[in-house]
Structure 1
Amino acid sequence: MASHPSARRRSPAYDPRPTIPLPGEHRVDRGSAVWARLATTLPDGGTIAIDTYPGTDLPGLRAALAEHLPDAVVIDIEDAAALPAERIDALIAGNLTDDRVFGVMSHHTLSDFYDPAELDRVAARVEAAPGLRIVVGWGATLAPVLYDVVVLADLARWEIQKRQRAGAPNWRADNGHEDAIRKVKRGFFVDWRVADRHKRGLFDRLDFVLDTNDSVDDARLLPAEAFHAALELAVTRPFRVVPFFDPGVWGGQWMKENLGIDSDDNLAWCFDCVPEENSLLVEAGGEIVEIPSIDLVFRHPRALLGERTFARFGAEFPIRFDMLDTMGGGNLSLQVHPLTDYIQNTFGMHYTQDESYYLLDASDDAVVYLGVKTDVDRSAMIADLHTAAAGTADFPAERYVNTFPARKHDHFLIPAGTVHCSGADSMVLEISATPYIFTFKMHDWGRVGLDGVPRPIHLEHAAANIQWDRDTEWTERNLVDRVERLAEGPGWIEERTGLHELEFIDVRRHWFTDVVPHHTRGTVNVLNLVEGDEAIIESPTGAFEPWVVHYAETFIVPAAVGAYTIRPHGPSIGRRLATVKAFVAGT
């Protein structure tokens, strides 16, 4: 039985609902007031487009419109003009493939899924109708109508996934009964790609953003000027996205015990910096409005990412931080991530999932599985993996894969192609590139998922990507304990802890008891307070208000911020703290 480290003091200061307060007077309407506000914008009649993100509760929106605006002419653009489901399925069949997890990235646009003649008929109906006319649905703005008001009904991808787990289908798909993994695949490779292309074209046309992350009855309507003001404010100061926590078969208890997260389940993951999935909470007009954080990436990529990072990745946030809790849980699956050439040619993704494990905590006997053993018998290892996948024998992982002791503040580097997994009784801060879905599981220790179904194993993909020359000696030399002291000053030390030269992310750790100078140097910084209860981030020029972060909180410093400082605050004054900071190397 593992010996667990003594528990930290419970840290209720960890904030699971960080907000961006928007100064000034901004009117936010909520619930039934949303529809009254829309009606009063056009008291003499006119046209409104409510363009939704796929996953929005469209029946709920239609019901609310019927109840609160009974005299309005409401047209569901999807029912009126979208192609039949079977034609859409045929269009995207090559993107979905037969695999349960992996598809091919779609380059469709939303207009591919609509009949142009039917869109013209919608426009004619709008033209002919009197009074208030509302076109609603994903693609409402595709109808050739000169709209008086444009509303974007938006929600975060994580909320979409929760709805799909509860039985919601993908857009125009009869797949509510399918397992959630296949629904996520369709979203990741098709729906969300198409939706984001469409949404980016709406930002300059918007009059309102409708927050539909909660029920339609509790929706919030944010004027476009407040939406844009919030995004403009976010890139001038440090901020946090809204973390979400998820159970898993190997999950543990550390986050519940140390971060004050209330859950009846074990918790496997905390996704606390995945802007494609997470949200921003904007505090305006006495209300909290939730908007997808990807909207910030799309709207202000240069100020957020920096010119050189934007030139390299486009409007995509390339760095991901998440936490993996196996404390009192089990091993992660033994896995490998695809090489760049493989992910490009097989899945159409332009960069891959390089990553690393930074240990926030670990028991006395915790280990990380990393790299294959020297002179490993490749064919025997693959054969034993197939045998284990068939369920006829267990896989003797320690015969083929190195295990390294894992201690608090150790940092293990995991360039794509390296066999790896975190063992039980660890608390890992995973610092990685963003394409999080591309994990080739090789062995899952005989478990099934929370749904009772075995989790997918992808041995063919894995075998094509394992770098067999990353043996014991190479792994020890290149991926374990690569700490290099770079600089120091009064009360602080800067170390480079990774990543490997094959990975595009660089990581610096700062130990400090006093003020530490930082500078974004033209690229986005992502940080986590990995030691200490509380620190404060300040601008040397007063460019933003001083801002406090707490233990284990991940935060983003936009490239446009430039110089900033971090120092101990509150209960941490006089103590030794540490942050880890990730940024795109070479920028």
Structure 2
Amino acid sequence: MTRLYDRNPRYSAVDGTVLRGWSAAAAALPAGELILAVDGPAALDWATAARDLAAAFSAQGRTAHLLDLRTHEADWDTVLERTGDAPGAPDTDRYYLPLSQSPLCDLYSELPRAERPADGVLIVHGPGAALVGHDVLWYADLPKRYAEAAIAAAELPVGVNLGRHREPGDLRRLFYADWPMTDAHRDALAPRVDRWLDLQDPAAPASIDGTALRATLAELARGPVRTRPYFNSTPWGGQWAVRELGFEPEGGNTALGYELIAPEAGVLVGDDADAQVELPFQLLCVLHPEEFLGREVHARFGTSFPIRYDYLDTVEGGNLSLHLHPREEYMRGHFGWPYTQHETYYVTAHEGDDPRVHLGLQQDADLALMRKQVEAAIERGEEMDVERFVQSHPSEDGRLYMIPAGTPHASGTGNVVLEISATPYLYSLRFYDWLRKDAAGNSRPLPYEHGFANLDARRQGTDVTRDLIQEPRTLREGTGWREEVIGQLDEMFYEVRRLTIEPGSDGASDDTEGRFHILNVSAGAGVVIETADGRTHDLAFAETLTVPAAVGVYRVRPLGDRPVHVVKSLVS
């Protein structure tokens, strides 16, 4: 039986249940006088959360005392200096920061000494609360999309950034300082958190105790799992995912679809939508790296999940910006990410008379003139003749366009692109954005100096079509199915394949062979994944699934009465 795209895939909790509300969480706290540390990201409304938790304790006859750790923040200049963003430094980059390696204790002038109260509960709350001596540890979470959207929309101008809870939000700090610091801190706490709280509904948060949290993640790390998808809106965004997948974005279009971007992805756990927690996907890699990633992948990438899947929807939208991504040495030296940002575009669908993919340089492109046109567009609003410098290729359904780091590219209007890429995703070095303005009338940031510093002039002329727009090559086949390699380059650490499975067949056999697989249904009704230990997981059109390394042998069975295409990627 086939079904429609599921925007809220959900998995059952193991060895516990998801509770709802502050009262339920408070009632689960051990009796007696104790110090409760409630840690979490800066973007939470900490004052309200602490007040509501204290009220829940009071209603149960327990006295609650509050200690807001944020009142011990160091002055802002000290925070900047400690996190690699010294004020007034001559080499300050207004677009990016090296990924911060600073611990959360750098936010504070001095950590307070908490004394266990003579009566009731002392609630130490705020980012880094676990750094203060405590008896019980809770982690209160809010998915990252909330902070990013709030800053972009200026809906939550105060309290989003670490170390600056009374000041306006800053995306640059959020991406390159706050998130790396918070993630490292959260990951270190995961083995000992006593309760995990999801504050997407701050008045009635969902929560799960630490034992059930870890048991559930252990179970998910051994079987196929899908993350909760969502779409961002941008000035170039389209309407395909609105029509085809049922999304209703507040911004009016479905530009960027987060199918599986590990640093921001979440997995929904609970029996129903009224009692579910969204757990960070990253915790699967942190707590079960070899089972989930595979031994060799873990040795190479640590606990970083190295491949991402997202959609770029420009149907009834506009061209993406002309941009490229940092080459490996530059990525390490300037931005601090240990591996680079190779990408591919797989065209899932297209509309319009002549949709295009911009990719690679024209033969003997005049890069000095290209720089002049880029600067003229920025400084004087003059149009850039993009195709004078960058090739334009017809967009074909089912075609993969490979984009090694340093290669200029853009998806044109009318495309639905499944972007299969290395995980780093915050380093789009843009040259040109078609003179677009945002809702406030501002131009998009264009860090073109970084772009030209990374431009790979070798990717030009006929070499582009030969190397980057490859013809499928059959890898293996069986009755009613075949697997093709559709994209592989020696310089890229992952490859992209495609399974074609005929309706009514027994499907394709496969084996993770000790490294995770990612699957996406790019055409047809869907498939069912069957593992050797008896698990099953269905996957509908446009959905993305991770098959952990620990799965081993599995089978992909087709659904519906048409051939099914399943795009697959893995670390080579």
- TM-score > 0.5, shorter chain as reference: yes
Shift of 1:507: 0.8
The reply to whether residue 63 of structure 1 matches residue 51 of structure 2 is yes
How do 1:178-193 and structure 2 match up within 5 A? 183-193=170-180
| Structure 2 residue 545 is the aligned partner of structure 1 residue 527 | no
Question: Deviation at 1:112?
Answer: 2.3
Deviates more, 1:274-283 or 1:262-271: 262-271
1:217 counterpart SS class: coil
2:467 counterpart (451, 454, 478): 478
Q: 2:190 and 2:381 mapped to 1: Cα distance?
A: 55
> Which residue does the alignment assign to 1:397?
386
**1:336 aligned to 2:324?**
yes
Cα distance in 2 for partners of 1:12, 1:521 equals 30
The 1:216–1:580 alpha-carbon spacing in structure 2 relative to 1, beyond 3 Å, is: same
Corresponding residue of 1:83: 74
Do the aligned partners of residues 468 and 186 (structure 1) sit closer, same or farther apart at CA in structure 2, a change above 3 Å counting?
A: same
Q: 1:263 and 1:110 mapped to 2: Cα distance? A: 34
Q: Distance in 2 between matches of 1:385 and 1:430?
A: 26
Matching residue of 2:305? 317
Q: Report the Cα distance in structure 2 between the residues aligned to 1:175 and 1:521, rounded to whole angstroms.
A: 51
The alpha carbon displacement at 1:470 in A equals 1.1
Match of residue 261 from structure 2: 274
Offset, 1:274? 0.7
The answer on whether the counterparts of 2:54 and 2:64 sit within 8 Å (CA) in structure 1 is no
Distance 1:412 1:463, change over 3 A: same
Structure-2 residue corresponding to 1:425: 414
Task: In structure 2, give the amino acid aligned to 1:164.
Answer: I
> Contact conserved, 2:35 with 2:117, CA < 8 A, in 1?
no
Contact 2:107–2:163 under 8 Å retained in 1: no
Distance 1:397 1:91, change over 3 A: same
Contact 2:344 2:420 in 1 (8 A): yes
What amino acid sits opposite 1:59 in the alignment? A
Structure 2 CA distance for partners of 1:86 and 1:376, relative to 1, 3 Å: closer
TM-aligned CA distance change 1:254 to 1:451, over 3 Å = same
Deviation by residue 1:483-523 (Cα, 9 ceiling, x = unmatched)? 21111110011110113221111111011112101111111
Give the corresponding residue for 2:528.
Answer: 536
The sequence identity of aligned pairs, in percent, is 32
Within the candidate set 134, 138, 152, 2:127 is matched to: 138
Residue 77 of structure 1 and its aligned partner are, at CA, apart by 4.3
Once residues 95 and 249 of structure 1 are traced to their aligned partners in structure 2, the CA distance between those partners, rounded to angstroms, is: 33
SS of 2:459 mapped into structure 1: coil
Which consecutive unaligned segments of at least 5 residues does structure 2 have?
Answer: none
Q: 1:35 Cα shift?
A: 4.5
> How far 1:32 moved relative to its partner?
3.5
Determine whether 1:567 maps to 2:557.
Answer: yes
Q: Give, in whole Å, the separation in 1 of the partners of 2:434 and 2:405.
A: 22
Q: 1:27 to 1:21 in 2, by over 3 A?
A: closer
What is the Cα deviation at residue 433 of structure 1?
0.3
For the residue of structure 2 that corresponds to 1:127, the secondary structure is coil
Q: Is the 8 A contact 1:355 1:413 kept in 2?
A: yes
CA distances 1:1-22 after superposition (whole Å, capped 9, x unpaired): xxxxxxxxxx971011011123
Q: SS at 1:435's partner residue?
A: coil
Aligned amino acid, residue 382 of structure 1: R
Runs of 4+ residues deviating >4 angstroms: 95-98
Aligned residue for 1:94, secondary structure, equals coil
Measured after TM superposition, the shift of residue 392 of structure 1 is 4.1
The answer as to whether partners of 1:150 and 1:206 remain within 8 angstroms in 2 is yes
1:202 aligns to what SS in structure 2?
A: helix
CA distance in 2 between counterparts of 1:331 and 1:450 reads 17
CA distance in structure 2 between the aligned counterparts of 1:23 and 1:300, rounded to whole angstroms: 16
| Cross-structure match for 1:37 | 27
Deviation (angstroms), 1:218? 1.5
Letter in 2 for 1:428: V
What is the CA distance between 1:128 and its match in structure 2?
A: 5.4
Question: What amino acid is aligned across from residue 223 of structure 2 in structure 1?
Answer: R
Secondary structure of 1:237's counterpart equals: coil
* Preserved CA contact (<8 Å) 2:247 2:254: no
Which amino acid is the alignment partner of residue 580 of structure 1? V
One of 219, 226, 241 as aligned partner of 1:240? 226
Q: Which amino acid is the alignment partner of residue 231 of structure 1?
A: L
- Give yes or no for contact 1:51–1:151 (8 Å, CA) kept in 2: yes
Shift of 1:50: 1.3
The equivalent of 2:535 in structure 1 is 545
Code of the residue aligned with 1:259 in structure 2: it is L
SS of 2:148's equivalent in the other structure is helix
Q: What residue in structure 1 maps to residue 95 of structure 2?
A: 101
| CA deviations over 1:448-476 (Å, ceiling 9, x no partner) | 13443110111211111111121111101
CA distance in 1, matches of 2:433, 2:3: 34
Q: Which shows bigger deviation, 300-309 or 151-160?
A: 151-160
Name the SS of the counterpart of 2:203 in structure 1: helix
**Equivalent pair of 2:326/2:427 in contact (CA under 8 Å):** yes
| Deviations 1:284-306 (CA, angstroms, capped at 9, x unpaired) | 48721212212222111211111
Aligned partner letter, 2:548: P
Paired position in structure 2 for 1:159 = 146
CA RMSD of aligned residues (A): 2.0
d(CA) in 2 for partners of 1:325 and 1:172?
Answer: 36
Moved more, 300-309 or 193-202: 193-202
Mapped to 2, the partners of 1:565 and 1:35 lie a distance apart of 41
Which whole-Å CA distance do the structure 2 matches of 1:261 and 1:128 have between them? 49
- Separation (CA, whole Å) in 2 of partners of 1:100 and 1:143: 34
Partner of 2:358: 369
Asked if 1:576 corresponds to 2:560, the answer is: no
2:210 to 218, 221, 224: 224
Residue identity opposite 1:233 in structure 2:
E
Following TM superposition, by how much is the alpha carbon of 1:176 offset from its aligned partner in structure 2, in angstroms?
Answer: 5.0
Aligned to 1:8: none
Quote the offset at 1:331 in angstroms: 0.6
